[in-house]
Amino acid sequence: MSSFPAVLRSEWTKIRTVASTTWTLVAALVVTVGVSAGLCAVFNATFNDMPKEQQVTFDPTLASFAGMTLGQLAMIVFGVLVVGTEYSSGMIRTSLAAVPRRGSFLAGKLIVATGLALVVGLVTSFLSFFLGQAILGDRSIGIDEPNVLRAVIGAGLYMAMIALFSMGVATILRSSMLSLGILMPFFFLVSTILGAVSATRKVAQYFPDQAGSKIMQVVPGAMDSGEAPYGPWGGFGIMALWVLAAVLGGYLVLRKRDA
Amino acid sequence: MIELEGLTKRFGAKTAVDHLSFQVRPGVVTGFLGPNGAGKSTTMRMMLDLDNPTSGTVRIDGKHYRDLPEPLKHIGALLDAKAMNGGRSAYNNLLCLAQSNRIPERRVAEVLDLVGLTPVAKKKSKGFSLGMGQRLGIASALLGDPEILMFDEPVNGLDPEGILWIRNLMKGLAAEGRTIFVSSHLMSEMALTADHLIVIGQGKLLADMSMADFIHENSRSYVRLRSPQQERLKDVLHEAGIDAISVPATGALEIDGVAAERLGELAAQHQIVLHELSPQRASLEEAFMRMTADSVEYHAHAPGAPGLPAGPGAADNPVRPADVPAWGAGYEATRKGGE
């Protein structure tokens, strides 16, 4: 029953006074924008060597977010550390003594951190888009074309959701190391590999990142992504369900377990 | 005022806290004493609603901790000196806590000054020594200017100057009418700070009495006599109406409540050679160890022995083993007499 704005202020102070916030968010932005720009340059240079069907389905919007596969890892670290350092430092006991309502505490923390991740995500997605289009030159697309703005804003939302999912997982596991040890290989290897093999794609397309990333796509089936049984918002909805499950799980663990 | 009622915590098969019921009253320093593993920290964590009790309740000023709107203004606690984020400065660590309970920011500087950490306020707290960490924890406890303060082993890691400082701080806070609850495993430390004592062993309440009563009942003084003519000495003492306890281990006699001078004169009158005539005083530390060792023994050898109170009533009537050693028997007798 602590006043909720007070909890939000406190969580904002927490997040802005640790060094990890700055470096993880800067890394998410720089890596996404930088790698996307680099890949756009590569696409541009090798466009004529691409297989025919890839040329036809080339999606300049999605191409300008190609670096997000790497950049999202920094977002995962951000999300994990926001929650995990409470546990690794022992601060969680002090925090819960100050804000004993578990729901208020968790909501305050997740709202502040997700809000910040969303701002950084949107800055990243717009920068990434415009820089990518500038590099793609003749093959670029304008932001006023159908569905493009949705994809650019969607890319920012995707980054915020990845961060929130990581926060949920870290609240369940109550450890930064364990959470990173599971999330990093999952998003960087497992999901990518299973999504690339046609036999396992049917399952992998329901993973949070694979489903969620559909929102950044303008041309269906671009970049060998195959046909999905859901649209961009449907995919984002699937991701949202994963996030909801992680956050709910985290809340239940926080409520049940001793701090 | 803190009230515990039938507070119980089980971890699997192990009962860490067993039907604890007691009150912590304002205006005095209440010492919470028990050997390591007695359940002190678990009890304190349940008081702050960090651990969920298996059964029983804790009320802070009549309310459950979770229902306190801004808990730091009611109760401040030092549980663990390291319970801060080391990557954050001392000032910012306190600022987050202050903001969450709508405590004005100037209070942060005030408490840092109070604990003497102003010069390092902007430093990251991970570089702090144990003593500095302890001071930061105390600063966080004082942040909301609460009526109730709880300290778990506050003198751990402090140098003598720091120990003296915290001792005076606690006494000063109690003198202002606040409720002070402080845990320790050192009786000697408690004897210097606490006005009231709550002793637990194996999660059970062993004593809930004033420090003065505890000293009165437990600091048994006696005279130790050793003589090559022990049998004759015993007879003489018996004739004089003095009870002597034989201690086979040392071959000495122990006499309660009779001055050493009187015993020396008595021996001289009967021309008995004495090898030792020495007044002894059992320390409070010994009394405490004896008290808690009993509880350990009781649990180790007689689990669920019939005839001993168990269940909710047990907390109100501290369980004492039926078969206590000679020294403990004396304690038990005085204790019963005092009730």
Compare CB distances from A93 to B70, B83, B93 and report the shortest one's residue: B83
Residues across chain B:
339
Nearest-CB residue to A98 (from B45, B71, B85)? B71
Q: Are strands B244-247 and B252-256 parallel, antiparallel or unpaired?
A: antiparallel
Distances from the Cα of B267 to the Cα of B232, B234, B236, angstroms: 10, 10, 8
B282 CA: distance to closest CA in chain A (Å): 40
Q: How close does chain B come to A88, measured CA to CA in Å? A: 9
Query: What value of ipTM does the predicted structure carry?
Result: 0.90
- Do the Cβ atoms of A18 and B100 come within 8 Å? no
What is the model's pLDDT at position B329?
36
The per-residue pLDDT for range A18-35, each reduced to its tens digit, is: 999 999 999 999 999 999
Question: Across the interface, do A6 and B101 touch by the CB < 8 Å criterion?
Answer: yes
For residue A127, what pLDDT band results from cuts at 50, 70 and 90?
Answer: very high
List of chain A residues whose C-beta atoms are within 8 Å of the C-beta of residue B89: 17
> Rounded distance, CA A101 to CA A99, Å?
6
With beta carbons under 8 A apart, name residues in chain A contacting B69: 1-3
Identify the residue with better confidence: A198 or A64. A64
In A, which residues are within 8 Å of B72 by CB distance?
97-98
Interchain pair B80, A7: CB under 8 A: no
- The confidence score (pLDDT) of residue B141 equals 95
Contact state of A258 with B51 under an 8 Å Cβ cutoff: yes
- Summarize the confidence of residues A186-190 as an average pLDDT: 91
- 10-residue mean pLDDT profile of chain B (339 residues): values are 95 92 93 90 94 95 93 92 86 96 97 94 90 91 95 86 89 92 87 90 92 79 89 90 85 86 92 91 75 60 40 38 37 38
User: Chain B closest CA to A83's CA: distance in Å?
Assistant: 12
Q: Which residues contact A220 (CB under 8 A, 6 or more apart)?
A: A57, A227, A228
Nearest CA in chain B to A12: B96
Sign of the Cα torsion B328, B331, B333, B336 reads: negative
- pLDDT (0 to 100) of residue B339: 33
Give the C-alpha distances (Å, rounded to integers) separating B26 from A98, B137, B149, B180, B184: 22, 22, 10, 7, 19
Residues in A touching B101 (Cβ below 8 Å):
2, 6, 98
Q: Which of residues 184-203 of A touch B (CB under 8 A)?
A: none
Pick from B34, B139, B126: nearest CA to B78: B139
Tokens representing residue A6 in the block = 């007070």
Tokens of B95: 């600022």
B304: left (phi over 0), alpha (psi -120 to 50) or beta: left
| Closest-CA distance of chain A to residue B315, Å | 24
User: Which one of A94, A102, A255 would you mutate to disrupt binding with B, by most B Cβ within 10 Å of its Cβ?
Assistant: A94
* CB pair distance less than 8 Å for B96 and A85: no
Contact B83 A10 (CB under 8 A): no
B100·A86 Cβ contact <8 A: no
State the smallest CA–CA distance between residue B85 and chain A in angstroms: 5
Residues of B with CB under 8 A from a CB of A: 45, 48-52, 65-72, 77, 79-80, 82-89, 92-93, 95-97, 99-102, 140
Spatial CB neighbours of A162, under 8 Å, sequence gap ≥ 6: A72, A75, A76, A79, A187, A208, A209, A212
Please tell me which of the candidates B52, B70, B85 has its beta carbon nearest to residue A18: B85
Tokens 């466009």 sit on residue: A47
pTM, entire model? 0.83
Closest-CA distance of chain B to residue A167, Å: 18
Closest-CA distance, B68 to chain A, in angstroms, reads: 7
Cβ–Cβ below 8 Å for B85 and A2: no
Nearest to B100 among A6, A93, A259 (CB): A6
Which of B8, B96, B105 to substitute to test the interface with A, most A CBs within 10 Å? B96
Sort B106 into a burial class: Cβ within 10 Å, 0-12 / 13-18 / 19+.
exposed
Residue A225, pLDDT score: 67
Rounded to a whole number, what is the distance in Å from the CA of A164 to chain B's nearest CA? 21
The answer to whether residue A55 neighbours chain B at the CB level (below 8 Å) is no
Residue B18 pLDDT? 94
Task: Give the model's confidence band at A95: pLDDT under 50 very low, under 70 low, under 90 confident, else very high.
Answer: very high
The pLDDT-based confidence of A2 (bands split at 50, 70, 90) is low
- Radius of gyration over alpha carbons of chain B, in Å? 24
Secondary structure element (H or E) that encloses residue B253, with its range: strand B252-256
Query: A9: which chain B residues are within 8 Å (Cβ-Cβ)?
Result: 99-100
Q: Is the pLDDT of residue A165 over 70?
A: yes
Name the residue among A14, A100, A256 with its Cβ closest to that of B66: A100
| Residue A243 predicted with pLDDT over 70 | yes
CB contacts < 8 Å between A and B, how many? 103
Least confident span in A59-68, A148-157, B243-252: B243-252
* CB of A258 less than 8 A from some CB of B: yes
Q: What is the pLDDT of residues B288-309, one digit of tens each?
A: 877 777 665 444 443 443 433 3
Structural domains of chain B ordered from first start: 2-216 (3.40.50.300), 220-285 (3.30.70.80)
Beta bridge partners of B224: B254, B278
Specify the higher pLDDT residue, A179 or A54: A179
Confidence of residue A123 (pLDDT cuts 50, 70, 90): very high
